[in-house]
Structure 1
Amino acid sequence: MEFLLFALVLEVALLQFKILEGTTELRRKRKPVSKSEKAQLDKLTRDRSLIKDVIRRTLIETAETGEWLSLQKTVEALQEKSSLTTTLRLRHTQLKSTLQDTSAECLRNRNQRAQDLQNADKKIAFLRDKMKDDLQNAKARLCYAEKWILARAESQDMQFQNQLQRSPMPRTDFEQRVHDELVKAYQLQTKERETSHEYWKVRYVKDTADINCRLMAKCEQLRVTIARREELQKLYDLHEGEMRAWLTFKKERAARLAREKRVRDAATRIQAWWRGVMVRCGLGQFRSLRTLKKSAKGKKK
C-alpha cells in the first residue's frame, strides 16, 4: 500500500511538472524576457528535467524491485553539491576579503611612498635654499672683509700721513660748540622716543579695551545663539513624534490614494471591456443593435 501511495505521489509530481512547463512556455511566448531571466528559466528547465528523470527512474525501480535507490542517490548528490557550493561561497568570501585587505595595504603603502617622496623633495629644496644662502653669506662676508682690509689700509695710510704732517690742535670753543650741538641732538631724539612711547602705550590700552569689548559682544552673541539652538532643539524633540506621525500619515494616504486609483482604473477598464462586449454581441440594453444588424443584412441581400 505504501509503494502504491509513493508511486501515486510521484505521478502527481510528474503531472505538476508538465503543467508548470506549459505555463512557463506560455509566459515566455507572451512576454519577452531579459538575459538574466532567460538564464534563470534555462536553469529551472534543466532542474525540472533532472527531477523528472529521477522520478521516472524511481517509478521504474519501485515497480521492478520495490526500492528507490535512484532517488536516494540523487538526494545525496544534491546534498554534496549544496555543501560544495557553500564551501566555494565561503572560499570566495575569504578570497574577496583577502583581496580587499591586500588592496588596502597596497594603497596605504603607495600613499606612504608618495608622502616620503614628497618629504624628500621638500628636504632637497630646503637644502638647496640653504646652500644658496650659505654661499651668498660667504660672498657677503668675503666682500666685507676685503672692504675692511682696504679701509684699514687707507686709515693706516692717513695716520702715517698725519704723523708726517701734524696739524694744529682744534680750539676749545669749537669743541664746546660741537659738544652742545650733539647734546641737543641727543635730547631731541630722546624726547621723540618718549613721545612715541607714550603714544603707543595709550594706543595699546585703547586697542586692548576695544578688543575686550568686541570679545564680550561676541561671547554674548554666542551665548544667545547657543540658548536659541537649545530652545529649537527642545522644540524639535517635543514635536518629533508629531512630525513622524504626519510623515507616516502622508505615506499611508499616498499609498491608499494610489491603491484606490488602481482599483478605479481597473474597474473602468473592466466596465469598458464589458460594455464593448455587450455592444458587439447585442446583450442587455443593446439588443436593438442586433435587430438592426439583421435588418441591414436582409436589405443587402
Structure 2
Amino acid sequence: MLEFQRAKLLRDRKLLSDIIRATVVEMAETGGWRCLRQAIISLQQRAEQSTVLQQDHDRLRIVRAAVTNELKSKQKQNAKELRLCDMHITFLKDKKEDDIKNAELRLVYAEKWLNAQAEVLEMQHRAPRATRPSATNETRVHRELSRAYDLQVEEREKAVEYWRVKYSDDTSSINMRLAVKCEQLRVAVARREELQKLYNLHEGEMRSWLTFKRERAARLEREERVRRAATTLQAWWRGLMVRRGLGAFKHLRSAKKTPNKMKKK
C-alpha cells in the first residue's frame, strides 16, 4: 500500500513539474497559459472519472456481496433439497423391495391355493375309465369307413369320366369352328387380294377422272366468271348508249331536243 501511494505521489509530482515547465515556456513564448488551463481541465475530468469509478466500484462491491449471499443461500437450499431427495429415493427403494417381496409371497400363496383347489376338484369329479370297445364295433366302423371311401372314389371316377368326355367334345367343337374361321379368313384374304388388284387396275382411270372433274369445275367456273363479266359490261355499255343516245338509240336524243326547241319558240 505504501509503495502504491509513493508511486502515486511521484507520478503527481512529475505531472505537476511538467505542467509548470510547459506553462512557463508558453508564457515566455506567447504570453498565455492555455497549457495550464488544459491541464486543470484534464485534472478535473480525471477527478470526476475517479469519483465515478469509485462509485461504480462501491456499487459493484455491494452487488457482489448481495450475489454472494444469494449464492450461499441457494447452495444451502440445494443441499437441503438434495438431502430430501436422497431420503425420498431411499424410502422409495425400500418400498419397492417390500412390494416385490409381498407380491412374491402372494403369488406363492395363490399358486399353492390353486393347486390345492385343483386337487380337490379332481378328487371330487374323478370319472371311471371308459370300457374297451368290442371287436364287433371295430368291424362295423371299419366297414362303414370302407363304404364311405368307396363311394368317394366312385364319385371321383364319374367326375373324371365326365370331364374327359366334355374335354374331347369341346376340343372337337373348337377345332371345327377354328377350321371354319380359317376357311373364312382364306376366302376373305383372296377376295381382298382380288379387290386390290382391281383397284390397282382402275387407279389410273380414277386419277384421270378426278383430274377431269377438277379441270371441268375450273373451266365452268372460269366460263361463269367470263359470262358475268360480259353481262356486266354489256349492261354498262347499253346504259351508256341509252344515256348518250348512241347507235340504235339516236332517236332518243332527237326526242329529248324537240321539246326544248318548242319552248324557245
TM-score by length of 2: 0.50
User: What's the offset of the Cα at 1:164?
Assistant: 7.0
Q: SS of the counterpart of 2:169? A: helix
Which residue matches 1:183? 146
User: What's the offset of the Cα at 1:237?
Assistant: 0.2
Distance in 2, matches of 1:233 and 1:300, equals 90
Which residue matches 1:199? 162
User: What's the offset of the Cα at 1:296?
Assistant: 3.6
Which residue matches 1:254? 217
User: What's the offset of the Cα at 1:283?
Assistant: 0.5
Q: SS of the counterpart of 2:133? A: coil
**Tell me, which stretches of 5 or more residues in structure 1 are unaligned?**
1-159
Structure 1's consecutive aligned runs of 4 or more residues displaced over 6 angstroms after TM superposition are none
Which residue matches 1:209? 172
Q: Is residue 281 of structure 1 aligned with residue 244 of structure 2?
A: yes
Structure number with bigger Rg: 2
Letter in 1 for 2:138: E
**Tell me, which stretches of 5 or more residues in structure 2 are unaligned?**
1-121
Which of 209, 224, 232 matches 2:195?
232
Distance in 1, matches of 2:249 and 2:132, equals 151
Which of 226, 234, 256 matches 1:271?
234
User: What's the offset of the Cα at 1:298?
Assistant: 4.1
Q: Is residue 244 of structure 1 aligned with residue 174 of structure 2?
A: no
TM-score by length of 1: 0.45
Which residue matches 1:11? none
CA pair 194-294 structure 1, distance change in 2 beyond 3 A: same
Instruction: After TM superposition, list the pairs within 5 Å mapping 1:93-172 onto structure 2.
Output: 165-172=128-135
Distance in 1, matches of 2:232 and 2:130, equals 133
User: What's the offset of the Cα at 1:270?
Assistant: 1.1
Letter in 2 for 1:249: F
Aligned CA RMSD, in angstroms, stands at: 2.2
Distance in 2, matches of 1:300 and 1:171, equals 165
Letter in 1 for 2:163: W
Letter in 2 for 1:192: E
User: What's the offset of the Cα at 1:300?
Assistant: 5.8
Letter in 2 for 1:241: G
Instruction: After TM superposition, list the pairs within 5 Å mapping 1:60-71 onto structure 2.
Output: none
